[in-house]
Amino acid sequence: MTGQPSASSRTVETRRKILRTAAEMFAGVGFAGVTSAVLASRAGVAEGTIYRYFPGMRDLFQVCVQSAAHWLVALIEENGIEGQPADIRLRQLASRILDAAAKQPALVRLAVVPPSAHVFNDATRQSRQAVLESLQRVIATGKQEGKIRAGGANLWAPLWLHLLGHAAVQVASGEWDRDHPGIGLVLDSAGRLIAPEPPE
């Protein structure tokens, strides 16, 4: 016979529920489009409960974006794609992000195309910068391998992520399924963008 959930487990679950619902809403309509009253209604909690876990809606927004950025950094740096040439690592990374877009659309949308950047605090800006720095390290390795074209990794990383972000948002929004031909076109375009120029 199982007992009732403990107060601490209920606390964790309530916080999770608020974060999950908030991420879905922020990913859909941005920071300005989400009110605590509507969020509370959708999360099935009292409005005051939100403020028991987060000082304000802006703080909640920062936590959602930071969590998504941390997830993407972990995915980029994951051991499972280490040791491969950079062009293959990037293709595998793109595939994993697109797979996740179908299963965790809000997380992926916040990770690749976060809304309302003008309200980011320093910690959120740093978490977004960490995503680009992780990508830059992969791209810099690719330049050493001769797999990535000349030019700064700080140029190619945001451009590559922007292209991939377009496909990820289409999948996350349900506009494209995982087999949509547009995905192949985007991945090919991203690959050509950073591929070495052919010798003359």
**Mean pLDDT score across all residues of the chain:** 90
Backbone angles phi, psi at 164, to 5 degrees: -60, -40
What mean pLDDT do residues 125-151 have?
Answer: 92
Structural domain harbouring 95: 61-194
Q: Are 159 and 195 in contact (CB under 8 A)?
A: no
Q: Are 172 and 105 in contact (CB under 8 A)?
A: yes
| 17 in a structural domain | no
Does residue 24 register a pLDDT over 70?
Answer: yes
| 186 in a structural domain | yes
Is residue 150 classed as helix, strand or coil in its secondary structure? Answer: coil
pLDDT band at 114 (very low <50, low <70, confident <90, very high): confident
pLDDT of residue 23: 96
Residue in the block written with tokens 């690592």: 89
What letter represents residue 44's amino acid? Answer: G
What mean pLDDT do residues 110-126 have?
Answer: 88
What mean pLDDT do residues 7-13 have?
Answer: 82
Nearby residues of 37 by Cβ (< 8 Å), 6 or more positions away: 47
| 46 in a structural domain | no
Q: Are 139 and 86 in contact (CB under 8 A)?
A: yes
pLDDT tens by residue, 25-61: 999 999 999 999 999 999 999 999 999 999 999 999 9
Calculate the alpha carbon distances from 146 to 32, 77, 115, 143 in Å.
Answer: 44, 20, 35, 5
* Chain centre distance of CA 184: 20
Domain count, the chain: 1
| 199 in a structural domain | no
| 90 in a structural domain | yes
| 56 in a structural domain | no
| 102 in a structural domain | yes
Nearest to 107 by CA among 16, 26, 12: 26
Cα separation, 164 vs 160, whole angstroms: 6
Q: Which CATH number is 91's domain given?
A: 1.10.357.10
Q: Are 24 and 106 in contact (CB under 8 A)?
A: yes
pLDDT tens by residue, 60-104: 999 999 999 999 999 998 855 567 888 888 999 999 999 999 999
pLDDT of residue 128: 94
Alpha helices in the chain (DSSP H): 7-29, 36-43, 47-53, 57-77, 86-103, 105-112, 122-145, 153-172, 181-194
pLDDT of residue 110: 94
